[in-house]
Amino acid sequence: MSSKRDRRRERLSQAGRSGGGAPEGRREVQIPRNGIARLNLGQSFAEYDDSLSDPQVFVHTPAFSAAQDFRGAKFFFVGRRGTGKTTIRRYCDTIGEHTRVIVPEIFSPASSILDLDLFGESSKRPFRSLVSAFRRSLQDEILNMWRQDHRSYVGLPAGIQSELESFEGLDFDSRTLQFISRVSRALASGDEQQWLTENKAAKKIAEEMKGLSGSSRYTLLIDSIDDFWEGTSTGLVYLTAFMHACLEMSTQIPWTRSLLFLRENIFERVRQVDSESSRLETSVVGLEWTDEQLLDLIERRLNRRFTTKIALGGATWNAWFENPEQARAEIFGFCQKRPRDVLIYVSNAIESAQSHHHTKIMIEDIQQARRRFSDNRLKDLGDEYAENYPQIALVLSRFYGLGRRFTLTGVEAMLDRLLRDEEVKKLCASWIFNAGQPERFVRILYDIGFVGIGPAGGQARFRALGPQDTSPPPISDSNDIEIHPCYWDALDLQDQLIRSLPEEREFGRIGLLVDLPDGLDATHYSEEITSVIKRLEACPRGTAGASEFEEIVGQAIKLCFFRALSNVEARVRDVDGRVVRDWIAANRAQSGFWELVRQRYGATQIIWECKNYDDIGAADFQQVDYYLNEAVGHFGIIVFRGEVSPAHYSHIRRISEKSKGFILPLTDRDLKTFLRQARNGKVKEDHIQDRYDAVARKIS
């Protein structure tokens, strides 16, 4: 009996240490029988990851702690893709009592309503008035949240009451455009009085907001800027002013703050043009990770599905990996300390162990997962920087079969060949000629993390994940340029130093742009998308352009979603011949957004309904709902030419409550975003996921 009690006491003691005690030392930790079959680390992309509903999986990094500290001075969370920005935002949105997520579209303006020459200097009055316009809109967003909580205007200061009554029904983008338009008109006409009135409005409202007694703490979470980022001069000026507005509101109104989650390559552009960027940099927190934090990330997820949990701090890792030290060296050294990459790599290794019925994750599982991880990492790199450098994946693919290291003269020879490559010249013309000097070309490859720089024959230095590392090592004839090891397998690189490229040696080919629709090559694919965008811009609204608009939507489906949606058919009738759906596509997705809607709504077929007019109403939503059933699923899309309004959310909520279905409204602006991203080589589904998330939050 005593031995049984002792064993039970040991099990309880082990469970009690699961929150993160000291390592287990040399004692062998028993993993659950057949436990390898139950391992699942969750989704590596935070926007799809259901495991983030469990607070125990979050790793408390310095950036994570800064986001939780309401009285802290950090408001800008800057890092590369896959470093945890959306994860932190999701945690803040989940635990925060008064939070709201904003995904602004204004940084991809359809046209400029301001004279950029007037707004170029950060210290000048025109730019400051643009900051005031953004700040006023942010303050109004907070006031709308406050208004929903208090349900009354009674006792409010006159200025706040007037502001709420005037702009309560507008979303952030629409409201901001109104404020910017007013400032621009006053400046253009020389109306000093009107300019002063508009410029001081934000300060007056802020002063009244300070006096609201008993207020809770309110947080705005601004994310997914890159979804609408086109890198235009107007968009850059807007974003710079917006960041200053976030800082001013967060520091001057004690019970409010705005947290902005931003990719480091976009922040770097702001830093280059903003003469007052030092004001922003004091409020920037980077998203760098240490090996210990990455270990914590994996261990928490390895433990997630088991009742009895192994201790953190190394014991969990040691229990699941056959040779834990070698496994850590191979995985962490390969992934550039990016948490998403570590998750993907370990998940691939787990799948290999499961398929081979191993009881632990063996070294051969890690090695087998390497090629798959390398292929995905290369595709993801091209996708991450598609907006900054359209079709950069094509340039990266030209390194296929070459060497792992280059001298500067070798890079020069490579660049010369690229600038004579007809496909590269056509698809990368917007940036490749500006990189015509080998030093500039190396700088771009270094900035995106593709290459490192180091002394000849020595260890290369690669770009860090956060915003602090802004300057590469010297680029000279005495240094070598080395491609990061995580891309070696995908590009089948040889262990050699490239000093020159003989003319007779042709570029290797790699299928980064795979399975393009209708047998198109990359050049014709890009040209086809450009043609559809022009047709969309020229298509008249109303009955006259209805058929044309339907054709455009169908082309967008085929060109942008061909990886997930297949067998796209137009004007499909049901068996009775009564129901005619504009477009229907088979949902074959195995991951990402489309798999989510297939699992959640049984959507094996996706219904697309096209409305070539600005305002859609109850009848339009009811029409789509009528098409949805158990056979095709309960998820439909309605594409129209206007803007999504609060009335639309009411119709969607009613349908959701009645039939558990979901109708996603998309605009022609969304179509342009899908087409533009596809043309640039972006394959992720972030934009449509954000559209879905925004509607889901509104109706919840």
611 or 4, which is more confident? 611
Q: How far apart are CA 588 and CA 600, in angstroms?
A: 14
Please state whether beta strands 403-406 and 494-498 pair in parallel, antiparallel, or not at all (unpaired).
parallel
Listed as own residue / partner, the contacts of 182-187 with beta carbons closer than 8 Å and 24 or more positions apart are 182/133, 183/126, 183/129, 183/130, 183/132, 183/133, 184/113, 184/114, 184/115, 187/114, 187/115, 187/118, 187/126, 187/129
Please classify residue 134 by burial: count the beta carbons closer than 10 Å to its beta carbon, then call 0-12 exposed, 13-18 middle and 19+ buried: buried
Mean per-residue pLDDT for 501-525? 66
Of the pLDDT bands very low, low, confident and very high (cuts 50, 70, 90), residue 580 is: low
Looking at the chain, how many residues does it have?
A: 700
Q: In what side-by-side order are the strands of the sheet with 451-455? A: 451-455, 479-483, 403-406, 494-498
Bridge partners (DSSP) listed for residue 609: 638
Q: Smallest Cα–Cα separation from 345: which of 380, 311, 387, 313?
A: 380
Out of 86-100, 266-280, 314-328, 455-469, give the one with best mean pLDDT. 314-328
Q: How far apart are CA 285 and CA 308, in angstroms?
A: 36
Give Cβ neighbours of residue 307 (< 8 Å, ≥ 6 apart). Answer: none
Give Cβ neighbours of residue 644 (< 8 Å, ≥ 6 apart). Answer: 665, 667, 695
Is residue 384 over pLDDT 50? yes
Q: Is the pTM of this model over 0.75?
A: no
Q: Smallest Cα–Cα separation from 182: which of 233, 139, 239, 130?
A: 130
Of the pLDDT bands very low, low, confident and very high (cuts 50, 70, 90), residue 156 is: confident
- Strand, coil or helix: what is 75? coil
Instruction: Give pLDDT, residue 161.
Output: 87
Bridge partners (DSSP) listed for residue 592: none
Q: Smallest Cα–Cα separation from 232: which of 134, 124, 114, 133?
A: 114
Of the pLDDT bands very low, low, confident and very high (cuts 50, 70, 90), residue 78 is: very high
Please classify residue 123 by burial: count the beta carbons closer than 10 Å to its beta carbon, then call 0-12 exposed, 13-18 middle and 19+ buried: exposed
With a pLDDT cut of 90, the percent of the chain lying above it is 45
Q: Which helix (H) or strand (E) holds 10?
A: helix 2-16
Give Cβ neighbours of residue 530 (< 8 Å, ≥ 6 apart). Answer: 679
96 or 298, which is more confident? 298
Give the number of other Cβ atoms within 10 Å of residue 599's Cβ. Answer: 10
Is residue 651 over pLDDT 90? yes
Instruction: Give pLDDT, residue 188.
Output: 77
Instruction: Give pLDDT, residue 166.
Output: 86
Mean per-residue pLDDT for 41-69? 86
Instruction: Give pLDDT, residue 109.
Output: 64
- Strand, coil or helix: what is 345? helix
- Strand, coil or helix: what is 79? strand
Give the number of other Cβ atoms within 10 Å of residue 665's Cβ. Answer: 24
Bridge partners (DSSP) listed for residue 667: 640
Instruction: Give pLDDT, residue 277.
Output: 87
Instruction: Give pLDDT, residue 18.
Output: 41
Residue 633 DSSP label: B
Within 510-591, residue ranges assigned H as helices are: 522-538, 546-560
Each residue's pLDDT tens digit, 414-464: 999 999 999 999 999 999 999 989 999 999 999 888 999 999 888 899 887
27 or 194, which is more confident? 194
Lowest mean pLDDT among 171-180, 570-579, 616-625, 651-660: 570-579
- Strand, coil or helix: what is 288? coil
300 or 5, which is more confident? 300
Instruction: Give pLDDT, residue 552.
Output: 94
- Strand, coil or helix: what is 274? coil
**Cβ 607 vs Cβ 655: under 8 Å:** no
Of the pLDDT bands very low, low, confident and very high (cuts 50, 70, 90), residue 284 is: very high
Please state whether beta strands 256-263 and 76-79 pair in parallel, antiparallel, or not at all (unpaired).
parallel
Each residue's pLDDT tens digit, 315-335: 999 999 999 999 999 898 888
Could you tell me how far CA 207 lies from the centroid of its own chain? Answer: 35
Mean per-residue pLDDT for 78-102? 87
Is residue 481 over pLDDT 60? yes
Mean pLDDT rounded to a whole number for the chain = 85
As given in the structure block, the two tokens for residue 417 are 């060949």
Strand boundaries in 537-654, DSSP class E = 565-573, 580-587, 605-610, 635-640
Each residue's pLDDT tens digit, 362-373: 999 999 999 889
Instruction: Give pLDDT, residue 262.
Output: 92
With a pLDDT cut of 70, the percent of the chain lying above it is 87
Give the number of other Cβ atoms within 10 Å of residue 170's Cβ. Answer: 18
Count the helix, strand and coil residues of the chain and give each as a percent rounded to the nearest 5.
55, 10, 35
Out of 152-166, 180-194, 381-395, 538-552, give the one with best mean pLDDT. 538-552
Bridge partners (DSSP) listed for residue 263: 79
Is residue 15 over pLDDT 60? no
